[in-house]
């Protein structure tokens, strides 16, 4: 099974139309079984931005799309528009994989929060799928990401969320928000961060990109794909950033 993990499209003033169009061509070419979009579809949560995002995302030739909201989407009462343009399911099952979204965006706030009730729901839901490969997707980051400057906007209740993920036996966590691709391994699960697919604002990794996840017999391989460029294992950029190996993309 192949999943395309994209994030931070930012339809609006900083959206890069050419890079988005190229990403659509690339992703449609390898035909993913599902696409997970971890938030910030728009820049300011405005109606015209939501219309453009809806039209843009419809160009992906994939029946299963799991779409989450980000902090930018909830600006200017954009949370009302998000529900209208991108109605979503609580749980999505694809073959032997289950994808569970966590809503962390809050109106007119840049920080994220899961909330006590949602944390309990996530833990209970994860435990129901003992024989599935379990993915949790959210916009905000649970763990600080390097090369992103002063960090005061992670999930406020990150500790509670991490404990619920661990108790529920999650296999993979997908995040966005920081516009910096990265990977952490925690206990028995992996956390991957997507860079920005089509925003001109990047951090640390100065190319528009997305992630590709390949799942085979409960084993995963995670890749980063530069839009219009190279495909590499995500672990490579972590290694290069920590060991000081020159980055060539």
Please state the pTM of the whole predicted model.
0.94
Nearest to 135 by CA among 64, 66, 210: 66
Torsions phi, psi for 31 (to 5 deg)? 50, 70
Nearest to 142 by CA among 164, 118, 120, 161: 161
Q: Is 46 within 8 Å of 79 (Cβ atoms)?
A: no
Torsions phi, psi for 246 (to 5 deg)? -60, 135
Coil/strand/helix, residue 223? strand
Q: Is 148 within 8 Å of 180 (Cβ atoms)?
A: yes
Residue 33, C-beta contacts closer than 8 angstroms, at least 6 positions apart: 1, 2, 3, 62, 64, 94, 95
Q: Are strands 34-38 and 65-68 parallel, antiparallel or unpaired?
A: parallel
Class of domain 2-243: alpha beta
Q: What is the DSSP letter of 199?
A: B
Q: Is 37 within 8 Å of 66 (Cβ atoms)?
A: yes
Q: Tens-digit pLDDT profile for the chain (249 aa)? A: 999 999 999 999 999 999 999 999 999 999 999 999 999 999 999 999 999 999 999 999 999 999 999 999 999 999 999 999 999 889 999 989 999 999 999 999 999 999 999 999 999 999 999 889 999 999 999 999 988 887 766 799 999 999 999 999 999 999 999 999 999 999 899 999 999 999 999 999 999 999 999 999 889 999 999 999 999 999 998 888 876 655 555
Q: Is 58 within 8 Å of 86 (Cβ atoms)?
A: no
Q: Bridge-partner residues for 186, per DSSP? A: 189
Q: At what angle do helices 47-57 and 78-85 cross, to 10 degrees?
A: 30
Residue 187's alpha-carbon distances to 16, 29, 157, 173, 184, in angstroms, are 37, 35, 19, 12, 10
């Amino acid at each position: 099974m192949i999943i395309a993990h994209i994030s931070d499209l930012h339809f609006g003033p900083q959206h890069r139309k050419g890079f988005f169009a190229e990403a659509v061509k690339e992703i449609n070419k390898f035909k993913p079984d599902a696409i997970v979009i971890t938030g910030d579809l728009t820049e300011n949560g405005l109606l015209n931005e939501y219309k453009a995002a809806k039209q843009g995302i419809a160009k992906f030739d994939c029946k299963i799309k799991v779409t989450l909201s980000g902090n930018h989407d909830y600006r200017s009462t954009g949370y009302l528009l998000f529900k209208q343009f991108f109605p979503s399911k609580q749980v999505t099952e694809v073959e032997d994989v289950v994808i569970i979204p966590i809503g962390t965006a809050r109106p007119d706030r840049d920080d994220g929060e899961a909330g006590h009730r949602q944390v309990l729901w996530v833990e209970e839901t994860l435990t129901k799928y003992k024989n599935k490969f379990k993915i949790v997707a959210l916009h905000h980051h649970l763990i600080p990401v390097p090369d992103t400057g002063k960090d005061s906007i992670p999930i406020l209740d990150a500790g509670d969320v991490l404990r619920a993920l661990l108790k529920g036996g999650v296999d993979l966590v997908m995040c966005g928000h920081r516009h910096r691709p990265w990977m952490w391994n925690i206990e028995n699960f992996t956390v991957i961060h997507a860079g920005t697919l089509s925003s001109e604002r990047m951090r640390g990794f100065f190319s528009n990109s997305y992630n590709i996840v390949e799942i085979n017999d409960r084993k995963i391989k995670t890749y980063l794909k530069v839009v219009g460029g190279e495909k590499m294992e995500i672990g490579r950029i972590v290694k290069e950033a920590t060991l000081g190996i020159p980055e060539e993309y």
